[in-house]
Amino acid sequence: MLVNYPNGTKVKQSYILHGNRGMSLEHDINVTNEYYLVHDIAVIYKKPTPITVVKVDFKSRMDAVIKEAYYKTPSTTDYNGVYKGKYIDFEAKETRNKSYFPLANIHTHQIKHIKKIIEHGGIGFLIVRFTHYNLTYFLDGSKLISFIENNNRKSIPISFFQKEGKIIETKYAPRLDYLKIIDELEKEGEASEKIS
């Protein structure tokens, strides 16, 4: 497969191990979660897409074919699981926008869900990729909530991610090591506790 790079060169994609242009954020997170699972680091899964089934044909008892169904609005985030005994919960979104992350990308009840998770002692956050720069940010749930509660804006500027978020590096394996950021944040939390 040939990939057009901005400078006009064409490169065979199979040779680009560290770049992931054209690879979706969802795919990157899924392979990362597989890595975490296989290497006994964490157990984190993407939840199935919620679907309302209306009509099912039963060819045989084991062989059901869904003939009519509709996508439902999710009430929670897409990913959750356990890491070092702690509850992990996040939503991942990519945007082509160069300067803003439009909040229309996340449902209101998903934001409420992240807030609840934090209130119950879980680790809730957002992963946002700005595809134009191929930059993936980790934004702590508390910072997301604080932005939404203190702003009337319908988007979060990239500067907020630069200031309050952390960049998740894209590597070979694990592809998108977001748990490393959690470790860093925990260490910083411990450090600030020691200082205060």
Per CB under 8 A, residues contacting its own copies are 37, 40, 42-43, 45, 47-51, 53, 64-72, 75-76, 80-89, 113, 116-117, 119-122
Q: How far is the CB of 102 from its own copies (least distance, A)?
A: 16
Tokens of 76: 């929670």
Q: How far is the CB of 97 from its own copies (least distance, A)?
A: 19
Which one, 37 or 103, has the nearer CB to its own copies?
37
* 46: exposed, middle or buried (Cβ count in 10 Å: 0-12, 13-18, 19+): middle
Q: Among 84, 71, 74, which residue's Cα sits nearest to residue 44?
A: 84
Residues 41 and 185: beta-carbon distance below 8 Å: no
Which one, 25 or 42, has the nearer CB to its own copies?
42
User: Phi, psi (5° rounding) for residue 173?
Assistant: -155, 130
Q: How far is the CB of 16 from its own copies (least distance, A)?
A: 30
Q: How far is the CB of 125 from its own copies (least distance, A)?
A: 14
Distance CA 108, CA 85 (A): 28
Distance CA 109, CA 139 (A): 18
Q: How far is the CB of 8 from its own copies (least distance, A)?
A: 33
Which one, 88 or 127, has the nearer CB to its own copies?
88
Residues 25 and 127: beta-carbon distance below 8 Å: yes
Which one, 67 or 132, has the nearer CB to its own copies?
67
